[in-house]
Amino acid sequence: MKKCSQCGIKYPEKLLAPIMTTKGTSVDVCGICGLNLSNFILGVRRTKFNGEIAEQMRLDAIEFRKKNKIKI
């Protein structure tokens, strides 16, 4: 298990992926935080990813939180 660098929730490592921040550094985030960061960086308001893999990671993070009774 590894913590998402944004929300601090511990996930299985396969549910985290690196994303570039506005500072040019890479951080490991869950799909939920990844979408939020991506929206912020791009200045958009998407509710889901367009890419199949990224969207599946977001859905997997939501499912993990539900299963473990962690607030979404």
Secondary structure E strands in the chain: 2-3, 10-11, 16-20, 26-30
Residue pair 30/70 in contact (Cβ under 8 Å)? The answer is no
* 37 within some domain: yes
For residue 60, the model assigns a pLDDT of 98
**Contact between residue 55 and residue 61 where contact means Cβ atoms under 8 Å apart:** no
Q: Distance between CA 58 and CA 49 in Å, rounded?
A: 8
Q: How high is the pLDDT of residue 27? A: 92
Per residue in 43-57, pLDDT (tens digit) is 999 999 999 999 999
Provide the domain limits for residue 45: 2-67
Q: Is residue 36 part of a domain?
A: yes
pTM: 0.90
Number of domains, the chain: 1
CA dist 61 and 34 (Å) reads 10
On whether residue 72 sits in a domain, the answer given is: no
Residue range 8-51, pLDDT digits in tens: 999 999 999 998 877 888 999 999 999 998 999 899 999 999 99
